[in-house]
Amino acid sequence: MHTKRYLSEKNGFSLLEALVSLMLLSVVLLAFLWLFSGSTMRIFTAGRTNSALFIAQQTIEQRLTTPTGGTASSIIITVPNSPSITVSGRTLTAAISGTNASLTTFVPN
């Protein structure tokens, strides 16, 4: 009778309870690791894109100093109940390295 009372009043965790809690903890930690690694990858991608945009912006600013660079173009500004305004100028384009994007700006004459 004494042995039966000891088994029914035992304290602590069983091996099965410990394994289940360890498994749940592992799933939660893996989810956080997946989120962390994805966020880190996106941060590095944004940094590379930002650096490429900065270089493209520098290229356009250097081209602004030459009055003959760029492609001749014009912009038409339309305001309701007013005549249209045409602004002639040139467009400057710089490719962003490592991407298929480019940076374009309009410079009025």
pTM over 0.75: no
How does pLDDT run across 61-81, given as a tens digit for each residue? 888 887 777 788 888 889 888
Question: In the predicted model, is pLDDT for residue 13 greater than 90?
Answer: no
Cα–Cα distance between 39 and 33 in angstroms, integer? 10
Cα–Cα distance between 18 and 31 in angstroms, integer? 20
Tell me the two tokens of residue 29.
């930690």
Q: pLDDT tier at 91 (50, 70, 90 boundaries)? A: confident
How does pLDDT run across 26-56, given as a tens digit for each residue? 999 998 888 888 889 999 988 888 888 888 8
Q: Distance from CA of residue 9 to its chain's centroid?
A: 56
Q: Locate tokens 């991407």: which residue?
A: 99
Cα–Cα distance between 56 and 63 in angstroms, integer? 11
User: In Å, what is the CA distance from 96 to each residue of 28, 56, 60, 64, 103?
Assistant: 39, 6, 11, 17, 7
Cα–Cα distance between 18 and 60 in angstroms, integer? 63
Task: Find all residues with CB under 8 Å of 37, minimum gap 6, and list them.
Answer: none
